Every structure is written in structure tokens, then in C-alpha cells.
Structure 1
Amino acid sequence: MQTLEQLRAGELHGARRLKLACGLTEFPTEIFDLADTLEILDLSGNALSSLPADLPRLARLQIIFCSNNQFAELPEILGACPELRMVGFKANRINSISCHALPAKLRWLILTDNRIADLPSELGNRPLQKLMLAGNQLRTLPATMAACTTLELLRISANNFSALPPWLLALPRLSWLAYAGNPFSAGAEKEAEDNPIAHIPWNQLALENRLGEGASGQIYRATHLGKPVAVKLYKSALTSDGLPDCEMAACIRAGTHPSLVPVLGKVPDHPQGIAALVMPLIAPEFTNLAGPPSFDSCTRDVYPADQRFLLGHALGIAQGVAASARHLHARGIMHGDLYGHNVLHCGEGSALLGDFGAASFHEPGSPLAGALERLEVRAFGCLLEELLQRCDGAVPEQLARLRDDCLQPAPALRPPFHEIAQRLQSLPDNHY
């Protein structure tokens, strides 16, 4: 993070990125001194409520973050910024969005945790790929968004939807959807919360070092009655994906499967009332398959440049993920974030799917369940494509066909997970 003093002293000349969090109540005019180079501007964590009318002077600006400020409306001047493609105004007080606030090149819009009840119809005319709206007061989405054929990720958890818009599940590229915490899914969520699970008293746990942190909480190495475990302590606040309570319910309802990160129990008596789950400590040879999407990749995971897989190992990962997804949908759970960065693998083909922060619930066997499954099949198709791109040699024809079938633009033409699992298992041994 840079400082206002550095900016005013001219020390940041030529900067492409600027991050200032120092209690700002007004936009520093010195930022315009960076107009020839500035592409990413992060003013999150201040006390701003407006942006200057001459913001388009930052002609190269592509990304702006103003989360955790005091905006009551999305500034209209954003729409006049010629290169702006990513806008993040999470955790403000926004209740109004003008059509003029939407940049022409908008790909990624983050409005999580505001007070928005309506969205402008012009949203359907933008090249959106990623739209994050969890924690608002929305009852519907503009019908014009049926034309958002590039939309791939949508977060509408913790709103006031009485049903999913009828056109939503027909979008050709939608792959990652989260809708938990809405009235129409309350029944399935209550049923999920009622699943029995062991209670592990807090005084039986000894926390050690922190292993990692995600949007919904922190994971610690710990011991339980002398045995190593992992403990996830949930944040009470809304996350970009949804509500921690829904994530916990999904973890519990998922039950056991060889390719899922298992749960041992939940903590009912944390001293600060924090929700917590206890899980086995995963062997250290298991690491994340990929990194999360970058600003540039938007919706696709980032892999090390030299990452390669043996075909047999890639198939093992794909088989494990497909089997776990089949298991989840049979239990009325859509993972919602089926990505390589949520898969742990050992480097030899074994894989574990985790992180239920975007999970949503449905009634197994219903027409909605089938449509949701085929939506998530496209996410699996993206993962399979990424794996095969990193395998040396020719891709077997059957496997290439499966990848293409999972990525079909028409969701109804995609195979369900039980068929995917069968097709992966039926590949001849000589393809390994």
C-alpha cells in the first residue's frame, strides 16, 4: 500500500497501480498526476461518498475499487471512463444505480453487501462475465440480462428472491452460481441445517498455527484429544459468496465421500460464539490445484506457467471431482464454486474438493435440480479443459468429446455427472 505523502511528493510517478487507505473523505486530486499510466485504483477502506466529475481524465483506468466507503449510489461518472472494465463497491450504502454508471466495457461488477433493490435494464447490454450481488435487497434481475451470453459467474445469495429468473439457467456460459439465503431456498436450507453431526467442545481443542484464510473464515492446525485436526473459524459477516451458516450447512449435509474434504464435527460452544467446524488434517502433499482467477483471467483459474500433468494423473483428478459433484447433487447441493483452486491434489491423481462458501441447495430429482446440475457441468468442463491443456501428447478422442459436451452452449445438451463419471471410467487403459 502506498501513502498520500508519497503521492503528493511525486514519488509514485509512472505507477500503474495505486492503493490508498488513510481515512480519505475527498478524492485526492494528485491522483490525476498519474493519468498517463494508472490502470488500477484501489481506494477501499476510506470515508468517500463521491468521485470527481473529471475522473475520465484517468484515460487508462481499467479497474477501480471503492469498497468499505460511504457511497449511497454508484457514481454515474464511472460510465464515462473509456477503459474501465472492473468495478468494486462492496460494503457501502448503495441503494441506487443509474444506467449511466455502467462503463461500456464492464466485465466484472462487485456490489456485495449494499442496499440495492433494483438494477438498471442497461446491465443486459454490458459484456459481463462476473457479477457479485450477494447481501442486497434484490427480488429479481432485469429481464434484459437474458442477453448476457458472456456471463459466467453470478452471486445473488442473501437477497429477497422468491424464485430464480426463468431465463437464468439457459444462459450459455453461466457456470458458477450462488443463491443461498433467499426466501425460495429457505426450506431446503432449514432441512440441511437439521442434519446431525458430532459436537466437539471447544475445550477439547488446542489451536496451533494458521494454515490459511478464505473469504468465509480462517483455518488453523489444531489438536483434538491429542490428534491433529484442522479447525475452520467462520467470519460472522457476509462474504462475497454468501452466508457462513449456509456454508456450514452444506459441509455437514455433504456427508462423506472419498473425494470430498471430510468434516468431523462442529463446535457448539466457542467462547465468542464463533461458528467453527473441525476437519481431519489433510496430508501435506495435498496442495491447491490452481490459483484463483486474476484480474486479467476474470473467471478462469491461474496455473503456474510450467504446470504439466501426466494424462493418467489428470484423469484421476477429473474422476474424483466428477464423482464428488455427482454425490453432492444427489444430496441436493450445488457446489457453486467448482474450480481448480478449490481442489486439493497430491500430484499423482488423487483429489479432494473443498470450500463450500458458494454452495446452494435444491430438491434432488426436481426439474430445477437437473438444470442446476447441467450449469455446474459447464464448470467441470472448464476444469477438464484446463487439465487437458496441461497434458503432453494428444488428447484421446473420447476425452476431447467429453470436454466439448460439458461446454455445450445449450445447457440441456450437457451430460449429467453420473454419465460423466461413467465416460471417464470407460476410457481404455492404454490412454493412460
Structure 2
Amino acid sequence: MPDIDPMSQETLERLRAGKLAGARRLDLSAGLTRFPAEIFDLADTLEVLNLSGNRLQDLPADLGRLHRLRILFCSDNDFDHLPESVGDCPALEMVGFKANRIAVVPAQALPARLRWLILTDNAIGDLPPALGERPALQKLMLAGNRLKALPDSLGQARRLELLRLSANEFSCLPPWLTRLPRLSWLALSGNPLPWHRPSPAPLPVVAWSALTMGDRLGGGASGDIYRVRCADGPMAGDELALKLFKGAVTSDGLPQDELTACLCAGEHPALTTPVAVLGGHPQGVQGLLMPLLPQGYVNLAGPPSMDSCTRDVYPEGWVIGSGPVRQLLSDMASALAQLHDRGIMHGDFYGHNILWQPDTGQARLGDFGAASLLPQDEPALVRSLLALDVRAFGCLMEEMIERCRDADPSWLAQMASLRDACLADNPDHRPEMADVAAWLR
């Protein structure tokens, strides 16, 4: 049974007392087994409804009365189907039903204006053709299901940019997948694809008992990162960063696949890759030890918001000098080129996964949660998949060029030309990452 949030309980009481008139957002995680009818009293203003962490199994048939609702979260409940009434909400763009027991997705449950659909960690074996008939569809998260195929109608999803298919049952990929003109972020690991993949290089093992834990440095969907000091062995006395994996299906895929991709990536000055693996954790938790970055490194961007959907968020008015831009893009192109040379598609190449030094532009790429090891014996398929990372790099170039204020016009024009090549709708027309890296050097 989900934990009841005391604040949500108070919110529920205020809702039932009619004290939330005019609310645009409502968050309720109060052990609900029924949809509170008082929510309809907010129909003229409510835009975001979060009912995650309850015990709901269905939604009312007249949910469409919430005519201003744009965003609906119902993750961590007990749904075994996506309610058809979800599709009746005329303004609904973002739908999230992660970690339920959903096996059935009716066509009628897909809103006409659907832009972002999250069905991670369910039991879905089939999706309706209507999914490809939602022209605004931009982001589709399906990791951790039982899918063996996608509806061919998705081949017409011209605006689809991010797709998560990890930890399903795909044994082959649809031929149209890599031809989608805007697809830039794709996760495929954890599927029974009959690919001959590269093998990870072995790394030293550091025992849990040899580590002294320090403060938490950060983390994400797949795990948390801590500062640690090693007491003995070849790294005795070293301060390192330890990533402890959570061991569950994330929106990107399985932690084991992230670990394998990290091990295959190899060392590179612009990659955050491991120097050792963790052994002997008392709960059997997997972990990686990585070099601790010098002080001054910060995240380049914030992750996409509900409004930006697939694009990173930067502080309002933020600008960057041409010197740091050159260094940043050169580092990132070189890092991606090494991954591609080793048969790895990063799958999540974003500013929010880049740590950088703002004064110099020196940068490190991390977070391999969506990375995929590609077949070593299918060069045409590999090139078409790696072209997705190239488009993601073009997105970063676009964001940097928009914010660069002191660049030489001729250099800026050349950068714009390279950006356009990376963003080409036809993947065959995009350059390879090694060529981009050579030009930027």
C-alpha cells in the first residue's frame, strides 16, 4: 500500500471543504481507492492533476468534464488498463501511468492532443494503431513492458523525438524506426535483439568494506552518486564518486544495461566513465566507482520541463561566450565519437547530462542509462542508429548558437551550417560523429 502523504491528506480535506476554488494544479497521494468527485468543482481552472501513489483502479467515465486539464499523472496505482475516459479530455497533452499493472491500452484512451505518454513499467503487450494518429506526439516512454512490436502507424509520427523501448521483448526493430525525421533520443537495451555486441573490458573490483561514505553528490532515475574514500587496495587514499544503482526499471531501462555500457565506453577526458566496480555490498547493490571531478563543474542545463517536453531548460537570459562554446562542443563531439567507435549509442545526449566548467567550456558527458550496445556485424543499421545521436548533438548546437553573443559572424555561419547538417530530416544526410569532431577540433 502506498504511503499517505500528510500534505495530500490536508489537501484532500480542503478540496472536500470547497477551499481550493480556482486551483490550476492538484496533487493527491492519500491512499485513494476512488476518484474524488469534488475534483470536478475545479473543472474551469484545473490544468495539472497528479494522482500518483494511490490505489486507484479506474477513473470516472465523465473525466472529459475536466476541459482545461493538460497534464494527468496516475503513476504507482493499481490500474490494469488505461481508462478510455482519459481520451475524452479535450486539452490533455501529457499522460503518465508509470508503474501500474496496465495490460490494455484502448485507442479511445489516447487524447487527440497527446504530446507526451508515459507507460513505463507496466505489462503492455500491444499498442493500438491510433497511437501513430496523434500528430502532436513528441515523447513516448514504454520501457519495462512486454512489447514485441510497435504499430506501423508510428512510422508517420513526424514529430516524435524521444522514444524509450528498453526492457521489452523486441527481437527486431521496425524498418521505419530510424527514418523518423526528428527522432533524437532512443533507448533499446534489455531486449532480446539477436545482435553480436561488444564485450565490456574488465575493471578492478573495490570492496564495499574498503569505502568510507561521504556526502551525496547527486543522482537520477537509475541511482545515487556519493563521495567516497577508498581505504586499501590500488586506490587507497583516493577520493572517488560512487554510483549505487537502484536496481529497478527506470524510464530509460535497466541498471544492469547502464553498467555494461559504462564498462564498454572506455576512458576519455570528456567522458565520465568508471575506474572500478563495487563488490560485496551487504544488500547486493551494484555500483561503479568513477573519478571525482574537480571543483567548478556544474550541469550545463536543467532537464526538460512539462512545457518544453523534449528540450532542456536554461536560465532565462543565460548567454555563453564563443570560447567556451567552442571547447564545449569540441569535447562533446569527441566524447560521442569515441562511443560511436566502440559501438555505443548514448541515447540521452542532453545538456542536463553534461557537466562543464563555465569559464573554460571544458565538459564531461555522463549518464549512460539510455545507452545501447549496437550490433558489430550490421554496419548499415548501426550508422542509422548512431545518426540519432548526431541529431541530438545538433539540438545542443542549436541551443548554444542561440545563446552565443560574441562569436565571429563567419564562424557562426559555419557552425549554423554544421548544425543544420546534424539536424537533417533524412538521417542519411547527417555527418558521422567522427567527422563532426574533426571539424570542431
2:397 matched residue in structure 1: 384
Shift of 1:185: 5.6
Contact 1:185 1:361 in 2 (8 A): no
- Aligned AA for 1:210? R
2:3 matched residue in structure 1: none
2:110 matched residue in structure 1: 102
Distance in 1, matches of 2:388 and 2:195, equals 21
- The percent of aligned pairs where both chains have the same amino acid is 55
Distance in 2, matches of 1:101 and 1:326, equals 42
Give structure 1 regions of 4+ aligned residues with deviation exceeding 4 angstroms.
Answer: none
Distance in 1, matches of 2:405 and 2:366, equals 27
1:428 matched residue in structure 2: none
1:415 paired residue among 431, 434, 440: 431
2:43 matched residue in structure 1: 35
- Aligned AA for 2:69? L
The answer on 1:231 being equivalent to 2:242 is: yes
- Aligned AA for 2:320? F
Distance in 2, matches of 1:53 and 1:117, equals 25
1:339 matched residue in structure 2: 350
Distance in 2, matches of 1:95 and 1:30, equals 29
Q: Deviations over 1:193-221 (max 9, x none)?
A: x5201100111111111111200001111
2:381 matched residue in structure 1: 368
Shift of 1:10: 2.5
1:279 matched residue in structure 2: 290
1:355 paired residue among 364, 367, 370: 367
- Aligned AA for 1:421? A
The answer on 1:309 being equivalent to 2:320 is: yes
1:318 matched residue in structure 2: 329
Shift of 1:283: 1.6
Q: Deviations over 1:248-299 (max 9, x none)?
A: 0111111100100131211121010000111111122000000000000000
Shift of 1:159: 0.5
2:180 matched residue in structure 1: 171
- Aligned AA for 2:345? M
Distance in 2, matches of 1:9 and 1:176, equals 45
1:198 matched residue in structure 2: 204
2:234 matched residue in structure 1: none
SS at match of 2:404: coil
Distance in 2, matches of 1:199 and 1:185, equals 30
TM-score w.r.t. structure 2 length?
Answer: 0.94
2:418 matched residue in structure 1: 402
1:61 paired residue among 62, 66, 69: 69
Contact 1:399 1:424 in 2 (8 A): no
The answer on 1:19 being equivalent to 2:23 is: no
The equivalences for 1:155-304 within 5 A come to 155-184=164-193, 187-188=196-197, 191-192=198-199, 194-225=200-231, 226-304=237-315
- Aligned AA for 2:333? A
Shift of 1:424: 1.4
- Aligned AA for 2:243? K
- Aligned AA for 1:229? L
Contact 1:129 1:150 in 2 (8 A): yes
Contact 1:124 1:145 in 2 (8 A): yes
TM-score w.r.t. structure 1 length?
Answer: 0.96
Distance in 1, matches of 2:188 and 2:105, equals 21
Contact 2:196 2:375 in 1 (8 A): no
Distance in 1, matches of 2:280 and 2:17, equals 52
- Aligned AA for 2:121? D
Contact 2:337 2:434 in 1 (8 A): yes
2:83 paired residue among 71, 75, 93: 75
Distance in 2, matches of 1:14 and 1:35, equals 9
Contact 1:185 1:362 in 2 (8 A): no
